């Protein structure tokens, strides 16, 4: 009977990890799928760049909304029901998007995807922390991140596959056939993510509710039954006793106090602040921007379009492989070790990348006045950038550009234009002078000024929308930079691969553990929601300033800033974060109360 029970425990723990992994996969798909679909959506939908930008960003908006309420809902409904709900929303969103023929339907489907992602980001780590035993909690949460990176990799690979097919059809010279396939391509990219969503929903119905949620709801027998599915009888009794002692201590403090126990106690404040700092610093490494603009960065570093996009696929493979290494090491080496090592490696990688860009960006020339002079009377701009155009713009800017001696007629050049209408600023993607197939730069008000006040608020809450709708087009910067050689491009790619390897092996995995392990039970769900909202706010701020900052000050400045922020991450992880490997959630809570100190992880069987 013991043998049968042990086999059942093993099967159930695998089911838990499988369901959590599928949740991570859906989260990764939510993040990565739009990059592959967007070029074909742009070519066939008839939407403006502003509308396409909001379709891409709608996931973030939905995620912010759902994250705000995910903690409250998971306390009310339970962790299991919230997992099922998040999966159902994801499944519903796929046909809405893939069958859409209008802007409103696309935005609605992407909002549903974002709501699903926000719920998954809170509920899955929360559920795993409360269900897995101390010895496997790190591995379980790491698998969530591992499958998340696989989702990003799969989205990149699918996009790369469709790009090859599009290239094959483009060579046939049949415009109608090419248009039809591009329309099929972006829809097909979304349909591919439908089966994992179905599996996640099915899996969420097969797992038990969180034993700690059940215990706090007074359902002792159900809590015991849930624990018995993954633990021995002895482990169950120990954890039930710890849960009972924790709740009894809380009730005793409440009974002896005239007012409700303050949430400003160190047991709540310190872990909450630690989790917020770690989550904010996780975004301040620049990881989302490096992922989102990876191909563009590599093109600017000196690689061709094909090699840059292949480099992005390799980048996602590095992310996936090194996340698996973290899965293996997180319960052996511990969270503190991986976070310290990972953040240190990220700092070195970012500094090296910034230095490579600094070598060429110090030669850049700002031709804003020359470009402003060709703005049309209707406040739009169309500019074909080639070697002749570059020479003309540089000649008109010669008086204020001492670096022109480094340019010659055969030097490949890139151009980035930063522009604004009123308080709203945007940047065009970099274009290269030697690319004969590149489309002209096209700037219009619809590409920069939001369509309504809701979108305007999330774009720039301090901007005046009505003023921007009538404001003239202002060229804030038009920066021409020599494009370095292929060797520089591959050196930059290696630095970015190193960045991704160290991030994946440390911060990428441990951030979810920090979020779920550090928070005391009383504030875990709501604390995780607030911390994730802070995380998303930082992510949104970085996304908003990345292209304008890069355009005005260069990639080198941005990478150096990211490196400086990661120094704060390293200091926090190395000197302030306790090692939680092998500790029960109740032991971690007691540590922050000041009643239990631990520097070395205990050994668990």
Dist. CA 594–CA 201, nearest whole Å: 41
pLDDT above 50: residue 232: yes
Give 557's DSSP letter: H
Name the nearest CA neighbour of 267 among 56, 584, 521, 509: 521
Is residue 516 within 8 A of residue 529, CB to CB? The reply is: no
Q: What's the token pair of residue 264?
A: 């400003």
Q: Which residue has the tokens 């009894």?
A: 248
Q: Pick the residue with more confidence: 308 or 199?
A: 199
Among positive and negative, which fits the CA dihedral 91, 94, 99, 100?
Answer: positive
User: What pLDDT score does 603 carry?
Assistant: 39
User: Quick one: residue 431, left, alpha or beta (phi over 0 = left, psi -120 to 50 = alpha)?
Assistant: beta
Please report how many Cα atoms fall inside a 13 Å half-sphere around the Cα of residue 535, on the Cβ side. 28
Dist. CA 544–CA 550, nearest whole Å: 11
User: What rounded mean pLDDT belongs to the chain?
Assistant: 80
Give 521's DSSP letter: G
Q: What's the token pair of residue 328?
A: 């293996």
CA 512 to chain centre: 13
**Angle at Cα 595 formed by Cα 589 and Cα 601, nearest 5°?**
65
Note the pLDDT tens digit of each residue in 144-171. Answer: 778 877 887 777 777 778 877 877 887 7
Question: What structural domains and CATH numbers belong to the chain?
Answer: 1-230 (1.20.1250.20), 262-360+486-577 (1.20.1250.20), 365-406+412-482 (no CATH)
Dist. CA 293–CA 515, nearest whole Å: 27
User: What pLDDT score does 352 carry?
Assistant: 96
Phi/psi for 414 (5° steps) reads -120, 150
Note the pLDDT tens digit of each residue in 38-85. Answer: 777 877 877 765 677 677 777 777 887 888 788 788 888 888 899 899
Q: What is the largest CA-CA distance in the chain?
A: 88
Name the nearest CA neighbour of 365 among 409, 326, 399: 399
Give residue 571's pLDDT band: very low, low, confident or very high (50, 70, 90).
very high
Dist. CA 320–CA 322, nearest whole Å: 6
Dist. CA 148–CA 25, nearest whole Å: 4
Dist. CA 86–CA 22, nearest whole Å: 12
Phi/psi for 482 (5° steps) reads -60, 135
Q: What's the token pair of residue 557?
A: 């400045």
Is residue 111 within 8 A of residue 562, CB to CB? The reply is: no
Tell the burial category of 555 from Cβ atoms under 10 Å away from its Cβ (0-12, 13-18, 19+). Answer: buried
User: What pLDDT score does 5 carry?
Assistant: 60
**Angle at Cα 308 formed by Cα 565 and Cα 63, nearest 5°?**
50
Phi/psi for 441 (5° steps) reads -70, 130
User: What pLDDT score does 341 carry?
Assistant: 92
Q: Average pLDDT of 189-198?
A: 86
pLDDT above 70: residue 253: no
Tell the burial category of 454 from Cβ atoms under 10 Å away from its Cβ (0-12, 13-18, 19+). Answer: exposed
Q: Which residue has the tokens 């000196």?
A: 302
Rounded percentage of the chain residues whose pLDDT exceeds 90:
16
pLDDT above 60: residue 260: no
Q: Average pLDDT of 211-229?
A: 84
Q: Average pLDDT of 553-576?
A: 91
294-301 vs 335-361: helix crossing angle, rounded to 10:
40
Dist. CA 528–CA 534, nearest whole Å: 10
Q: What's the token pair of residue 274?
A: 């630690």
Among positive and negative, which fits the CA dihedral 435, 438, 440, 443?
Answer: negative
User: What pLDDT score does 259 carry?
Assistant: 45
Give residue 211's pLDDT band: very low, low, confident or very high (50, 70, 90).
confident
Dist. CA 194–CA 286, nearest whole Å: 30
Note the pLDDT tens digit of each residue in 313-327. Answer: 888 889 888 988 887
Give residue 258's pLDDT band: very low, low, confident or very high (50, 70, 90).
very low
pLDDT above 70: residue 520: no
Q: Which residue has the tokens 């809170």?
A: 122
Q: Give every CB contact of residue 541 below 8 A, 6+ residues apart in sequence.
A: none
SS3 for 58-92 is: HHHHHHHHHHHHHHHHHHHHCHHHHHHHHHHHHHH
Q: Which residue has the tokens 């970099």?
A: 430
pLDDT above 60: residue 402: no
User: What pLDDT score does 409 carry?
Assistant: 64
Give start and end residues of each alpha helix (H) in 137-265: 137-170, 175-191, 194-206, 211-216, 220-228, 233-256
User: What pLDDT score does 65 carry?
Assistant: 82
Q: Average pLDDT of 260-274?
A: 66
Q: Pick the residue with more confidence: 365 or 141?
A: 365
pLDDT above 60: residue 403: no
User: What pLDDT score does 371 carry?
Assistant: 93
Q: Give 163-170 contacts, CB < 8 A, sequence gap 24+.
A: 163/36, 163/39, 163/309, 166/40
> Which residues, in sequence order, are bridge partners of residue 477?
418
How far CA 104 is from CA of 37, 95, 97, 499, 539, in Å, comes to 17, 14, 10, 38, 25
């Amino acid at each position: 009977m013991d043998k049968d029970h042990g086999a059942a425990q093993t099967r159930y723990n695998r089911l838990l990890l499988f369901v959590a992994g599928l949740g991570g996969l859906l989260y990764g798909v939510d993040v990565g799928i739009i990059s592959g679909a967007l070029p074909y959506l742009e070519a066939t939908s008839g939407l403006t760049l502003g509308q396409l930008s909001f379709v891409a960003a709608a996931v973030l908006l939905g995620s912010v909304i759902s994250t705000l309420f995910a903690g409250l809902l998971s306390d009310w409904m339970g962790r299991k029901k919230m997992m099922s709900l998040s999966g159902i929303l994801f499944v519903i969103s796929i046909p809405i998007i893939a069958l859409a023929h209008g802007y409103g339907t696309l935005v609605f489907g992407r909002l549903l995807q974002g709501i699903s992602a926000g719920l998954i980001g809170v509920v899955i780590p929360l559920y795993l922390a409360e269900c897995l035993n101390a010895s496997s909690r790190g591995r379980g949460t790491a698998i969530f991140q591992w499958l998340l990176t696989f989702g990003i990799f799969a989205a990149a690979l699918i996009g790369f596959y469709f790009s090859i097919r599009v290239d094959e059809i483009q060579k046939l010279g049949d415009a109608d056939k090419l248009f039809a396939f591009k329309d099929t391509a972006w829809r097909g990219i979304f349909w591919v993510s439908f089966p994992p969503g179905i599996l996640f929903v099915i899996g969420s119905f097969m797992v038990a509710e969180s034993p700690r949620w059940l215990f706090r709801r007074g359902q002792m027998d159900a809590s015991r039954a849930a624990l018995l599915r993954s633990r021995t009888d002895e482990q169950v009794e120990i954890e039930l006793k710890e849960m009972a002692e924790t709740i009894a201590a809380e009730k005793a403090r409440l009974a002896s106090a005239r007012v409700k126990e303050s949430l400003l106690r160190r047991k709540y404040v310190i872990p909450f602040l630690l989790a917020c700092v770690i989550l904010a610093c996780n975004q301040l490494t620049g990881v989302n921007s490096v992922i989102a603009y990876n191909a563009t960065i590599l093109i600017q570093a000196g690689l061709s379009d094909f090699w840059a996009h292949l480099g992005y696929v390799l980048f996602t493979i590095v992310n996936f492989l090194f996340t698996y290494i973290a899965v293996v090491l997180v319960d052996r080496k511990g969270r503190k070790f991986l976070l310290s090592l990972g953040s240190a490696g990220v700092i070195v990688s970012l500094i090296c990348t910034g230095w490579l860009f600094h070598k060429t960006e110090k030669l850049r020339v700002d031709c804003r006045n020359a470009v402003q002079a060709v703005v049309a009377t209707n406040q739009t701009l169309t500019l074909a950038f080639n070697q002749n155009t570059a020479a003309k713009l540089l000649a008109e800017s010669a008086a204020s550009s001492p670096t022109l001696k480094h340019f010659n007629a055969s030097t490949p050049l890139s151009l980035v234009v930063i522009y604004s209408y009123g308080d709203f600023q945007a940047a065009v993607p970099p274009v290269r002078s030697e690319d004969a197939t590149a489309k002209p730069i096209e700037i219009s008000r619809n590409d920069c000024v939001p369509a309504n006040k809701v979108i305007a608020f999330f774009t720039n809450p301090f901007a005046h929308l009505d003023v921007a709708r009538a404001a003239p087009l202002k060229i804030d910067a038009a920066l021409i930079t020599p494009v370095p050689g292929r060797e520089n491009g591959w050196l930059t790619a290696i630095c970015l691969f190193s960045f991704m390897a160290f991030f994946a092996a440390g911060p990428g995995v441990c951030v979810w553990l920090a979020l779920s392990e550090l928070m005391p039970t009383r504030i875990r769900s709501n604390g995780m929601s607030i911390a994730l909202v802070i995380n998303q706010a930082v992510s949104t701020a970085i996304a908003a300033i990345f292209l304008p900052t890069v355009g005005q000050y260069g990639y080198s400045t941005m990478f150096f800033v990211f490196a400086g922020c990661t120094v704060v991450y390293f200091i926090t992880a190395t000197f302030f974060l306790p090692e939680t490997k092998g500790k029960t959630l109740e032991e971690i809570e007691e540590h922050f109360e000041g009643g239990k100190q631990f520097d070395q992880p205990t050994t668990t069987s």
